Structure 1
């Protein structure tokens, strides 16, 4: 049986040192924290066995190092694949309107952004969006409405298509490689 108090004491006594060691190895505090936390999570999953080792800290450190190597290998494999296959011959152009829409989406709350992307860009119905986001359809409608209102101020600032959209007009979103979608603009 895993003893949470013993593990908590072990964690508290070693997490800073191990994070510091991983930071020294990786040069990135965020990566060091991620690797250390994942290694401790694995230690907790195997605590019955790990707690019996002569040096549980060494086990956690070695797991963190193996995780780092795994991350490095995945990155190297992605780079190799990219070099092997290169850039696709046809990269669709991205319209300035699309760039403006994406910039506006980044400035609104996540749940509103998610609803707008799923409904307007992916093309899901309100009901399908509600199912995917696990909220009632009314909540999706409210998020869509609030999201469009929030986006309108940012789209007005940048002037989608070079001009400020008139109230009640539709802004056409041209997604690379897909059919266009329209977002209704309100003032």
Structure 2
């Protein structure tokens, strides 16, 4: 038996679980940005992103039945995990020094606009997966939809000696 009120059930209200959760995350990140500033908000979201990255890394390793992912597998996993959450990432280039990715659809959709702290989810998930499997990563968010760019461009640097002057967050194997 449904608890839906027939007078309300068919109303055109743009509300369902996905929109609700994306709105919740947008408002939480916006509140953090307003209260503690962008850097601190990014830090808080980074902690969540790290934990999510660790879980996703365990899930892919288990599914692939490997103890560690190769560079090629890491690149494909980064694209696949975003595909599963309705992102549209693709590999632009890949070599021993870096994996360059581009994206035209944020999983947070329009809710990410004006909320650059939400990009720390991508940075941390990508950084944790790359570092846990390859030893080191520095994630550079060159362009982001959150900041008004037409697409995201993310560079996952894989060698510490090549990145001293590159902006971004560093991740190390634990």
Task: Please confirm whether the aligned pair reaches a TM-score higher than 0.5, indicating the same fold.
Answer: no
Query: Could you state the TM-score of these two structures normalised by the residue count of structure 2?
Result: 0.28
Q: Structure 1 or 2: larger strand share?
A: 2
Query: Could you state the TM-score of these two structures normalised by the residue count of structure 1?
Result: 0.27
State which structure, 1 or 2, has the greater radius of gyration over its C-alpha atoms: 1
Structure with higher RCO (Cα < 8 A, 6+ apart): 2
